[in-house]
Amino acid sequence: MVYHVSRRCGVPLFLAGLGLAAALVIGCGGASSSPASPTPTPVPSGVNACGAISGASASGLAIVNGASCTPGTASVPILYLKDSGGTWFASCSGTVISSTAVLTAAHCLAPPTASINISFQTKEIPSASFAASPDYNGTASNSIDVGVVIASAPIGQPIVPILSSRDPIVGEPVVIAGWGQDLFGQTFVLRAGATTLSQIGSVDLLAQYGGSSASVCAGDSGGPLLVSVGGTWTIAGVTSAVSGACVAGTNYFTNIRNASARAFVLSQAPDAAQR
- If you ran DSSP here, which 8-state letter would residue 268 be given? H
- Per DSSP, the residues of 3-70 read PPPPTTSEEE--EE-GGGPBPPEEETTEEE-S---PPP-PPPTT--TGGGGT--B-SS--TTSSEEB-
The yes-or-no answer to whether 35-70+162-258 and 75-159+260-268 have a common fold is: yes
Tell me: pLDDT of 153 over 80: yes
pLDDT at residue 55, as a whole number: 52
Q: Write out pLDDT tens, residues 78-107.
A: 999 999 999 999 999 999 999 999 999 999
Give percent above pLDDT 70 in the chain: 78
d(CA 133, CA 34): 30
Q: Where are the alpha helices (DSSP H) in the chain?
A: 259-268
Q: Which residues pair with 95 in a beta bridge?
A: 103
CATH (one of 2.60.40.10, 2.40.10.10, 3.40.920.10, 2.60.120.10) for 35-70+162-258: 2.40.10.10
CATH assignment of 75-159+260-268, given 1.10.10.410, 1.10.10.10, 2.40.10.10, 2.60.40.10?
2.40.10.10
Task: Supply the pLDDT for residue 4.
Answer: 29
pLDDT cut 90: percent of the chain above it: 60
pLDDT (average), residues 99-125: 97
CA 132 – CA 93 distance, rounded (Å):
15
Are 168 and 156 in contact, with CB atoms under 8 Å apart?
Answer: no
pLDDT in tens, 20-79: 333 322 222 222 223 333 333 333 444 678 888 875 443 333 367 768 898 999 999 999
Q: Domain residue spans in the chain?
A: 35-70+162-258, 75-159+260-268
